Chain A
Amino acid sequence: MSIDTTPKMNWWNRLAHPGQFVQWTRPLIWPLVALTALLFAAGLYFAFFNSPADYQMGDTVRIMYVHVPTAWLSQFVYGTMAVSALGTLVWRHPMADVSMKAAAPLGAAFTAMALFTGSLWGRPTWGTFWEWDGRMTSTLILLFIYLGIVALWRAFDDQLKAARIVAIFTLVGAVNVPIIKFSVDWWSTLHQPASVFTADGPRMPGSILTPLFVMFFAFTFLFITLQLVAMHTEVKRRRVMTLERKAARGDAS
């Protein structure tokens, strides 16, 4: 009788091993791609052919179906990054670094799209491309934070060192984002008492909610798919870096 001393490979340990992570999640990619494509097809069909124009905003309500999901992702991706940052700092989980790095440019892109669609929606409904209201302003600041994080990643040569420092910055940013949101809301309501938005607003009929929900899930799954592929690439890139370093050392000796 012998005592088994090898560490148990539970799912958490498996996820912590980059090679195992790639092997485990690779079969998920194609189903995710198919699901995302299907959701987008259904969402676009509903958005253009199977939903009425809003009685107040007219057809411009259709911009909402791309605006709201991207705006949601701009915050959801930051949440993903903050959770990954905790994973880096508290558990030193190797995949958390990778997830943090993969998410930053995706978040910046979705935030930029949210701002773009928001300003195109604002022009016909408010009569201006840019309004310094609370939501647009804090989204713009969020975009700056994303771009700062991307710049911080790119400035480091040593990716392990970068991961810990970016994690600290991401968490400080996460603490700051609600403060920024609060201060910007306070500032914008004082400057323009007649707010464009009303708290209760017009109730949305179900025919508008259907395409909104479908597009919402389509964009969320798009993010998950891209994030997974980008994480696999990042794992490979680290392998490339190790091999290159090894090759350089071999040539030198």
Chain B
Amino acid sequence: MTGFLSVIRRDLRLAFAGGGDVLTLLLFFIIVGAIVPFAVGPDQELLSRIAPGVVWIAAFLSMLLGLDRLFRPDLEDGTLALYRLADLPLSAVIAAKVIVQWLTSALPLIVASPFLAVILTMDLDTFWRTVLSLLLGTPALAAFGAFGAAVTVAIRRGGLLAPILIAPLCVPILIFGIGVIAPLGGPGQGTAAMLFLAALSLMALALTPFAAALAIAWGRSRAPP
């Protein structure tokens, strides 16, 4: 457990020491949201209707963009090789990294979402639902993202590949995330979507660290352990 916590502490310190990465992602999130009115026109009614979708797409894109820094720096400075020799199982290290990834790239977006809500004229009820659905859905995005980063870490030019691989797998998260915000077909469906979303997040958090650990271990060594 101490090893787990120290990985979290180390990665958090690294993420905030540089400072740049977290701010850049946050800026990207806001700019994507702010650019939409220029593309669809400043029609308040239309904007408030599509606002939840815009917030979700902006969060989705910024979380996919941040994937390459998840394992690449550790690979380059040799920390990843050390992690594989550590007493702590690699899957636990990856679970810690998923938590840090969520804290540094999803939580700031949720904190910044009121700004997008204001400029996209979201009403208060929709805004709370959006925050709820982001809180429930982003852990799954972080977990899938960690898997995508683990699969492509062995490739030297794998930067753009991880988002392409992961985006199709994330479609259910997007669907249920939007389902929480804008319940179609009756009030019961919003609750159903919320439960599905929470189930997806739990499943992704529980299973992807193992798959990601396997991908990293087998991508590094010629003979499987």
Contact = CB atoms under 8 A, between A and B. Distances in A.
Whether chain B is bound by chain A comes out as yes
B224 interface: yes
Contact of B200 (A92, A144, A179, A186): A179
A175 B222 CA distance: 26
Given A173-B169, A190-B184, A155 B175 contact: no
Interface string B179-191: 1000011000100
Contact of B219 (A92, A164, A179): A164
B140 to A, nearest CB: 11
B215 A168 contact: yes
A226 interface: no
A148 B144 CA distance: 15
A152 interface: yes
A169 B184 CA distance: 33
A184 B215 CA distance: 28
Given A164-B218, A165-B215, A141 B175 contact: no
Nearest to A164: B218
Contacts of A182: 172
Contacts of A161: 154, 218-219, 222
A187 B147 CA distance: 25
A169 B149 CA distance: 11
Nearest to A148: B165
Nearest to A146: B168
A161 B222 CA distance: 7
Given A165-B151, A190-B189, A193-B185, A176 B214 contact: no
A242 interface: no
A172 interface: yes
Contact of A155 (B161, B172, B215): B161
Question: Which of A158, A180, A182, A186 has the largest count of B CB atoms less than 10 A from its CB?
Answer: A186
A160 interface: yes
Contact of A186 (B161, B165, B167, B175): B175
B168 A148 contact: yes
B143 to A, nearest CB: 11
B168 A145 contact: yes
B171 A168 contact: no
B56 interface: no
Contacts of B171: 141, 180, 183-184
B161 A179 contact: no
Contact of A156 (B154, B179, B200, B224): B154
A184 B172 CA distance: 7
B211 interface: yes
Contact of B175 (A156, A168, A184): A184
A125 B167 CA distance: 31
Given A168-B151, A169-B151, A193-B185, A183 B176 contact: yes
B116 to A, nearest CB: 23
B71 interface: no
Contacts of B224: 92, 164
Contacts of A186: 175, 179, 196
B175 A172 contact: no
Contacts of A191: 184
Interface in A41-97: 92
Interface in A92-129: 92
A144 B161 contact: no
Question: Which of A156, A165, A182 has the largest count of B CB atoms less than 10 A from its CB?
Answer: A165
A144 B168 contact: yes
Interface in A171-221: 171-173, 175-176, 179-180, 182-184, 186-187, 189-191, 193
Given A164-B219, A193-B185, A169 B157 contact: no
A151 interface: yes
A152 B151 contact: yes
Contacts of A184: 171-172, 175
B167 to A, nearest CB: 7
3 closest residue pairs by CB, A with B = A183-B172, A190-B184, A144-B168
5 contacts: A144-B168, A151-B164, A156-B155, A183-B171, A190-B189
